[in-house]
Amino acid sequence: MMRRTWLQRLPLWAAALAPLLRPTGAHTQGSAQVWLRVRNGSQEAFTHVWQGLPQQGTDVDLGPLLPGDTSRWHALPATLAHYRKTRIQIGQRQFTHVTDQSFPGGRATLAPGHYTFTYTLEGGALRLTVVAEPGASGPDRSRQKQ
């Protein structure tokens, strides 16, 4: 039981330690970040959710999300490549959603800030709604999956 709890919290530790392990040059090049969370707006359980760019080490494992659940906040560099893809597993099916032109105001990229990505399943395909969260400050967990 303790091992399972530790493994579930591993992504939190990795996210907390990542800035310390990043080379100094990479940190100073682009410190602008987008803070994201994923919400399951469908009627089906998301058995697993991943977001980010694995080739650059900025992928985030968000685990399962039941209908109505919202993931924790996570920070990614404010460059489209880092938050462009979200992979969601529903049962034995995996969906990869490429986020282009879905941002508030019809923008092609996100400005640094906080955003909620709400995914629904319609006609066998993922549909995304992105909401800017202007009042968000840091990882508020009040209405999130713990």
- By the 8 A CB rule, do 40 and 119 touch? yes
> Under DSSP, is residue 37 helix (H, G, I), strand (E, B) or coil?
strand
Q: Two tokens at 102?
A: 């879905």
Domain boundaries, the chain: 2-132
CA distance linking residue 87 with residue 59, whole number of Å: 10
Write the CATH number of the domain with boundaries 2-132.
Answer: 2.60.40.2890
State pLDDT tens for residues 38-49: 999 999 999 999
Q: Is the pLDDT of residue 137 over 70?
A: no
**Predicted local distance difference test score (pLDDT) of residue 7:** 57
pLDDT tens per residue across span 47-104 = 999 998 888 888 899 999 999 999 999 999 999 999 999 999 999 999 999 987 668 7
